[in-house]
Amino acid sequence: MKPLYDAVKKYARVKGRFHMPSHGGNPRALFPLKRERLYASCAFDITELSFSDNLASPQGVIREAEDIAAKAYGAEKTLFFAGGATDAVRVALLLIKGRKIAFFGDMHKSFHSIARLFSLSVTSVQTLSELEEKKFEAVCVTSPDYFGRVKDVEAIAAVTKKIGAVLIVDEAHGAHFAFSPLFPKSAVKCADLVIHGAHKTLPVYTGGAMLHVKNEYYEAAVSARRECVSTSPSYLVMASLDFARDFMEKKGEVLYARLKKKTDGLKSAYPDVQTLPADDFSRLTFVAPGAGHALAAHLEKGGIFAEAQDADRVTLIVTPFNAHSLKKVFSLCRGFDGKNAEYSDLSELIGKISAEDVGVYPPGVPLIKAGEVFTEEKVKILERNSDRLFGAPGGKIRTK
């Protein structure tokens, strides 16, 4: 039996993919395999050889590819990762170990897990004045969020510069910003370290990520990467990072202009289909109050698979490689009229202390962190999204 292989093979025929990885299953978005007469991606699946460099200590083609990527993003230095943005977060946090750290707003669950792993002192802040008053030595922020909304990173950077703090921006969902002026500005120019989960929005294989750093952090970051990641990184993933950067430098501006024209046109053509306002036009979130899960199921019946859904929303990652199915999405949403199934009853959690970080995945932001008390309001959110929880091993939320 080969259940995983069979499941993936069956799904390979689905065309309406609006989730990461953002190549959408479209071979034209990745390596031009047919053009190169390389009909199997295994041809790219190699190891450290005399010509292929070594991610642990890059001096050849990997170093060259990273340097070209840095230039494309306007960074001083860039490091590649094959294990996802979480690997990049781990390296970034290791660089500020021992400092007084603030996180501004919501952070991905990996941030909190790594902070505990490294015994970091982290504090949540919500205002710029609080950042300045408490004299933090490092500040971490997520921008954009899962719904394509960005923070005023330049204003945050001004404060961190004033107090002499290191600024780390988890821009995992913004790796495409550099390739079109129609997108928000990337944080690369104003932050000390910026994380990109490239496979989320670019034609990169799953796990392809980057960490952009100022020169002063480069050697320490390379050393930390050597300690933190696998000694067997996928060349297939790393090569796709290099390919996607080159492809988007050449064609991204034109492709994204066409994409914006298409998304704007469909929004105008379907005024009754409600979407969540976003700074990133390529992140479409359809609003269905009380019926997000039902809408996602409705879309799947029509051959459309979304990136994420919760009780009230369905989120799509739109790229030049899946936009051909976008009209069908709007059409299905227009004809939708349904409600979610009955919610789970988790009321027994109210007033208890959580033993785990618990939240809805995606987006992967803890709603309740380990050691916090379950409130009635937050329990209701968990109930409405009980099929997409993380921090519930075996389907059970553990309390202390």
CATH of the domain at 326: 3.90.1150.150
Q: What is the pLDDT of residue 275?
A: 97
Are both 100 and 226 inside the same structural domain? yes
Q: Does a structural domain hold residue 24?
A: no
Are both 185 and 76 inside the same structural domain? yes
Question: CATH no. for residue 383?
Answer: 3.90.105.10
Q: What is the pLDDT of residue 189?
A: 93
Q: Which residue has the higher pLDDT, 36 or 178?
A: 178
Q: Does a structural domain hold residue 121?
A: yes
Interval 189-199 mean pLDDT = 97
Q: Does a structural domain hold residue 316?
A: yes
Are both 383 and 266 inside the same structural domain? no
C-alpha 227 chain-centroid distance: 23
Condensed to tens digits (0 to 9), the pLDDT of residues 310-367 reads 889 999 999 999 999 999 999 999 989 877 656 678 888 899 899 889 988 878 888 8
Are both 13 and 144 inside the same structural domain? no
Hey, what amino acid is at 267?
K
Asked if 209 and 108 touch (Cβ cutoff 8 Å), the reply is no
Check pLDDT > 90 for residue 262.
yes
Are both 146 and 241 inside the same structural domain? yes
Distance, in Å, from the CA atom of 189 to the CA atom of 178, rounded to the nearest integer, reads 11
Condensed to tens digits (0 to 9), the pLDDT of residues 124-143 reads 998 999 988 888 999 999 99
Are both 211 and 164 inside the same structural domain? yes
Domain boundary (247, 277, 305) is at 247
Domain boundary (247, 266, 301) is at 247
Q: Does a structural domain hold residue 325?
A: yes
Question: CATH no. for residue 217?
Answer: 3.40.640.10
Tell me the average pLDDT of the chain: 89
Are both 285 and 172 inside the same structural domain? no
Hey, what amino acid is at 286?
F
Q: Does a structural domain hold residue 298?
A: yes
214: DSSP letter: -
Are both 67 and 96 inside the same structural domain? yes
Check pLDDT > 50 for residue 51.
yes
Query: Which of 60, 39, 49, 87 shows the shortest CA–CA distance to 242?
Result: 60
Distance, in Å, from the CA atom of 374 to the CA atom of 357, rounded to the nearest integer, reads 11
Domain boundary (334, 358, 386) is at 334
Check pLDDT > 60 for residue 33.
no
Condensed to tens digits (0 to 9), the pLDDT of residues 65-111 reads 999 999 999 999 999 999 999 999 999 999 999 999 999 988 988 89
Are both 201 and 289 inside the same structural domain? no
Q: Residue 265 sits in which domain range? A: 3-18+251-334
Q: Which secondary structure element, helix H or strand E, spans residue 239, and what is its range?
A: helix 235-269
Long-range contacts of 118-126 (CB under 8 A, 24+ apart): 118/93, 118/94, 120/93, 120/96
Q: Does a structural domain hold residue 28?
A: no
Q: Does a structural domain hold residue 329?
A: yes
- Give the largest CA-CA distance in the chain: 62
Q: Which residue has the higher pLDDT, 49 or 32?
A: 49
Number of domains in the chain: 3
